[in-house]
Structure 1
Amino acid sequence: MSTLKLITFDLDNTLWPVDEVIRQAEKVCSEWIAERHPEVAHSLTASRIRDLRTALIREKPHYLNNLTALRRDAMARAFEQAGYSQREAGRIADDAFVVFHEARNRVTFFPGALEVLETLADSYQLGALTNGNADLKQIGIADLFAFHHSAETVGKRKPAPDMFLAALRCAGVQASQAMHVGDHPQEDVQAARDHGWHAVWANLIDLEWPVELERPRHHIHNLHELTDLVPLFDD
């Protein structure tokens, strides 16, 4: 029994381009800090927060499994280093993260994304599997997905099997009945193949495929192509 029943999607750079979204969210957050805490704004730039995130990951690599905690704790450390108490720094960082995250979820979909999701949702269970911290409710597409798993909710990033196994449990299907669509060669495509899934490389931002990995059998450059490709996986 191998008829396709489940299709999961990565989110960032698969359903929408993410780099500019993050830049804008960091800008909005920096402006919020500058307005409310001008005395320390010069030392709490986006680049400074990025440096602190890198330092935190070196100290505790598990932060990679929770990007929300990583960004929030980096901001809290920055405020502490600027002279705030630990409690006050944490409170401000929580508020600043809310501002960042609201802007982080203002995405512009790739052409065809919503139409394709709506079409596929009529015939398949859809799931979201992401290492990031996008919020499908804030974005407005939660109703199209049966479930949404992230590195934060399962405790492990792709390419680890945890997220894929959680998806199979939620959907009540076998790996041979599942397909994952994503942009990352290792974390999406190779991971899905390693865990017994079908895989489609969504190369919507014109990446080069790594020479050390076997090229994917199925790849798309536009999400509209999925509606023609998916039936090929049905027996």
Structure 2
Amino acid sequence: MSLHATSRPRWLTFDCYGTLIQWDEGLQAAVRELLARKQAGHIEPATLIEVYDRHEHALEQTPPHRSFREVAGQGLRLALQELGLPVDDGDIRVLTERISRMPPFPEVVDTLARLKQAGYRLCIVSNTDDDIIAGNVAQLGGHIDRVITAQQAGAYKPAPRLFEHAHAALGVGKDEVVHICASPHLDHAAARDIGFRCVWIDRGTGRRPLPDYRPDATLTRLDEVPPLFASLDW
């Protein structure tokens, strides 16, 4: 699919972590801190992240719905236990406080300002809790009009319910939105299933697109979005 010959969107929705906010870098820093606290230098940060991600994603899709803080805490406990590491009550605080402080990518704030000046309304749709993401949104220059979270929707990506909730909250149909994201596993699956337009920011992390879905456009940085839209006469 292509964005050519499609209508200008009223809203742009964004995945937050990995798209606007430096998720991988921040997560690695949090994991290094946890491993240092536990004197577990024999375990690579990438190993703990891989095991944690597996547990976290499974818990997000397992009823009943729980807050991200609870999901992240349980996922981290399970990952530490699987790797034979001790667990203490401060572990999840290290992770969630790091998440809230993760900064935006260098080009993000200026790009959001350009998109606002071009007349778009901007919304974040994220698999998190309101209080956790608040620290990240505060770093985005005041350009974000709405923030819609898994906590508000009672569902996590890639379940369509989160995006359906977002579209209803914004008062738009799927054809009035373009979603901009970095996560194939979560956001592309929802775009495939619901049918909304999607721009992939492929930041070279090694994440691969789904075998049965191709995004409407693929860019490497957020500041490539305004020129793309200008080329479409939006």
Do the two structures share a fold, i.e. TM-score over 0.5?
A: yes
Checking the alignment, whether the CA contact within 8 Å between 2:184 and 2:207 is kept in structure 1 is no
In structure 2, C-alpha distance between the alignment counterparts of 1:119 and 1:48, rounded to whole Å: 38
Partner of 1:72: 73
Q: Which residues of 2 match residues 1-235 of structure 1 at below 5 A?
A: 2-29=7-34, 62=62, 66-73=67-74, 93=89, 95-122=90-117, 123-132=119-128, 135-139=132-136, 140-141=138-139, 143-207=142-206, 209-210=208-209, 212-231=211-230
For residue 105 of structure 1, give the secondary structure of its aligned residue in structure 2: helix
Supply the AA of the counterpart residue of 1:16: I
How far is the alpha carbon of 1:226 from its aligned partner? 0.5
Structure 1, 114-123 or 189-198: larger mean CA deviation: 189-198
Supply the AA of the counterpart residue of 2:135: Q
How far is the alpha carbon of 1:151 from its aligned partner? 2.9
Checking the alignment, whether the CA contact within 8 Å between 1:65 and 1:157 is kept in structure 2 is no
Partner of 1:86: none
Supply the AA of the counterpart residue of 1:6: W
How far is the alpha carbon of 1:28 from its aligned partner? 3.4
**Number of positions where the alignment pairs a residue of Structure 1 with one of Structure 2:** 216
In structure 1, C-alpha distance between the alignment counterparts of 2:213 and 2:182, rounded to whole Å: 15
Relative to structure 1, the CA distance from residue 208 to residue 68 in structure 2 (aligned partners, 3 Å threshold; closer, same or farther) is: closer
- In terms of fraction of residues, the more helix-rich structure is 1
Deviations 1:37-85 (A, max 9, x none): xxxx77xx98789868967987895278644213334667889xxxxxx
**Structure 1, gaps ≥5 residues long:** 35-40, 80-88
Instruction: Work out the percentage of aligned pairs sharing the same amino acid.
Output: 22
Structure 1, 157-166 or 131-140: larger mean CA deviation: 131-140
Structure 1, 70-79 or 183-192: larger mean CA deviation: 70-79
In structure 1, C-alpha distance between the alignment counterparts of 2:225 and 2:158, rounded to whole Å: 23
Checking the alignment, whether the CA contact within 8 Å between 1:193 and 1:199 is kept in structure 2 is no
Give the TM-score normalised by structure 2: 0.70
Partner of 1:37: none
Task: Give the CA RMSD over aligned residues.
Answer: 3.9
How far is the alpha carbon of 1:203 from its aligned partner? 0.6
Q: Which has the larger radius of gyration?
A: 1
**Structure 2, gaps ≥5 residues long:** 1-5, 82-86
